[in-house]
């Protein structure tokens, strides 16, 4: 689907930029109507307290009375009535028969003794202050001796796997005039959850605007129209800058123009597309970029969408409505949402960050500035707000790597298995003891699946060593191969109440939908 004029008949739609459409289905108000009854009177459930006179406090200490003071030294006294003034050097006898000598220096020392509870408090406070000082000092010294660095993948290790990007970081080539730097992974010191300006500033050089021209058919004939979308710089090779976007942004485009964050333009061309996954890679010739542009742009840092949690902050950046790059902020609302788009079921991240027309192909970031999704579709309804969807980056990485390194296949050239399928979710698998994967509901007669011996009820878990957990995963994997390619499929088959593993070699056919003529 390109971003042209059309009539919208579905609930879920691609977030195309320049769309004029009418709503064909009236929205019914499905919210329940609530009525309120009179509230019950509030009873005072608090008890009423009355106070009696407090009982007199009994002194547990002995009560001493004093006799008259002796006028001369060394006179013995017994405790009686009165309070004599102690004279230094005099000897006194208590009513218990204990004789003691009054020493003013000893008495003063006893008066100055500190209570034991106060000693404990002061000791604890002193220990805390000293411990905090030591902790801060050690951390400061460590930061000075071992500064934090962003991990990098060397060109040598990346070339072995023929990957442009991976799940943890981006590939940085050897230093040269045409090397594009990578965005940084921000830590808690740079990020405030109420202010994401540092995240946006760091990521913006890796986001581009994509504007395309299309031939559009109408009642009055063929005319040219334009569409706008977004893209993410995901890597580079020796000659090209590689940009990820949605397939529907560039599908059937006559030409592609890429605008970088310094407002410079460059001609782009489609490197590869995957219609089922709604992914595409656009390339730009590095030799046609000014050095100032190369110095300004950055390669995005790829995060891990599998580790994302519902409730974490999400930041969407893209070319909303074709007005230029803009930012919206929200949260991850749900994971693994299965959404039907143009007859395709996609497994997506849901967010309440606004995904507006033109945001398609743009980045969904986490709070560290890592790409966790590629903005793709939104829920369009007058009764619904805040339902945008993004392709999880962890599932897109392998497809993007493949698209970046292979020639794009036409629809009629793509592999076809020939099964009707559904996803065995982890919840269902745990409840019934099934393996997670793709359940075969039915096998198309005369298809590659039937020829290879795949049966209804089989659960496909792996294709050529790559795990498939959803129907979207299986479809993306199958269509990435050319028709006629033989792939190894691992599946589980129920036999006498137990699942057993089966390996089959399947030679893929071509989709009869595209070969009917």
**Active site positions, annotated:** 248, 278, 360
Class of residue 99 by CB neighbours under 10 A (exposed 0-12, middle 13-18, buried 19+): exposed
Proportion of the chain in helix, strand, coil states, percent, rounded to 5: 20, 35, 45
SS3 390: strand
Of residues 208, 401, 375, the one with CA closest to residue 297 = 208
Residue by residue, DSSP assigns 493-510 as: EEETTEEEEEEEEEE-EE
Class of residue 268 by CB neighbours under 10 A (exposed 0-12, middle 13-18, buried 19+): buried
Q: How far apart (Å, rounded) are the C-alpha atoms in residues 457 and 441?
A: 6
Q: How far apart (Å, rounded) are the C-alpha atoms in residues 164 and 172?
A: 10
Opening angle at CA 473, ends 495 and 185, nearest 5:
130
Helices (H) and strands (E) in the chain, counts: 10, 25
CA-based radius of gyration for the chain: 38
Are the CB atoms for 508 and 448 separated by under 8 Å?
yes
Q: How far apart (Å, rounded) are the C-alpha atoms in residues 73 and 283?
A: 111
CB neighbourhood size of 191 (10 A):
18
Are the CB atoms for 258 and 210 separated by under 8 Å?
yes
Helices (H), 433-484: 448-452, 471-479
Strand pairing report for 221-236 and 240-245: antiparallel
Provide the terminal-to-terminal Cα distance of the chain, rounded to the nearest Å. 22
**Which residues are within 8 A (CB) of 321 and not within 5 positions of it... i.e. 6 or more apart?**
17, 18, 228, 356, 357, 358
């Amino acid at each position: 689907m390109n971003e042209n004029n059309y009539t919208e008949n579905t609930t879920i739609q691609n977030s195309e930029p320049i769309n004029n459409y009418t709503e064909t289905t009236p929205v019914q108000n499905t919210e329940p109507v609530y009525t309120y009854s009179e509230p019950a009177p509030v009873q005072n459930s608090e008890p009423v307290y009355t106070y009696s006179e407090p009982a007199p406090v009994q002194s547990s200490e002995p009560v001493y009375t004093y006799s008259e003071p002796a006028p001369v030294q060394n006179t013995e006294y017994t405790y009686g009535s009165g309070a004599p003034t102690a004279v230094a050097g005099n000897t006194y006898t208590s009513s218990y028969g204990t004789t003691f000598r009054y020493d003013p220096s000893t008495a003063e020392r006893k008066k100055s003794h500190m209570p034991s509870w106060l000693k404990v408090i002061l000791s604890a406070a002193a220990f805390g202050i000293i411990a905090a000082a030591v902790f801060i000092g050690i951390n400061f010294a460590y930061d000075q001796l071992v500064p934090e660095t962003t991990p990098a993948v060397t060109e040598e290790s990346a070339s072995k796997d023929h990957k442009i990007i991976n799940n943890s970081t981006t590939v940085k080539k050897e230093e040269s005039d045409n090397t594009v730097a990578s965005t940084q992974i921000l830590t808690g010191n740079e990020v405030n959850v109420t202010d994401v300006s540092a995240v946006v500033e760091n990521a913006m050089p890796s986001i581009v605007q994509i504007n395309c021209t299309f031939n559009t058919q109408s009642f009055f004939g063929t005319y040219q129209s334009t569409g706008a979308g977004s893209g993410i710089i995901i890597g580079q090779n020796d000659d090209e800058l590689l940009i990820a976007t949605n397939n529907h942004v560039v599908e059937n485009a006559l030409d592609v123009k890429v605008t970088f964050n310094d407002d410079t333009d460059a001609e782009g061309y489609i490197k590869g597309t995957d219609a089922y996954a709604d992914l595409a890679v656009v390339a730009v010739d590095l030799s046609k970029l000014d050095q100032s542009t190369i110095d300004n742009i950055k390669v995005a840092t790829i995060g891990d969408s599998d580790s994302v949690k519902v409730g974490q902050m999400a930041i969407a950046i893209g070319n909303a409505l074709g007005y230029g790059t803009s930012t919206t902020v929200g949260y991850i609302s749900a994971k693994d949402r299965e959404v039907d788009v143009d007859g395709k079921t996609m497994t997506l991240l849901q967010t309440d960050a606004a995904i507006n027309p033109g945001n398609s192909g743009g980045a969904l970031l986490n709070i560290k500035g890592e790409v966790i999704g590629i903005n793709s579709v939104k829920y369009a309804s007058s009764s619904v707000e805040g339902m945008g969807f993004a392709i999880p980056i962890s599932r897109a990485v392998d497809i993007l790597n493949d698209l970046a390194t292979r020639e794009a296949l036409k629809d009629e050239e793509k592999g076809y298995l020939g099964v009707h399928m559904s996803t065995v979710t982890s919840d269902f698998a745990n409840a019934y003891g099934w393996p997670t994967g793709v359940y075969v509901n039915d096998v198309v007669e005369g298809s590659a699946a039937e020829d290879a011996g795949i049966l209804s009820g089989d659960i496909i878990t792996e294709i050529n060593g790559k795990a498939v957990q959803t129907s979207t995963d299986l479809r993306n994997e199958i269509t990435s191969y050319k028709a006629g390619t033989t792939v190894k499929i691992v599946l589980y088959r129920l036999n006498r109440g137990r699942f057993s593993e089966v390996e089959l070699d399947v030679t893929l056919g071509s989709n009869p939908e595209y070969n009917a003529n």
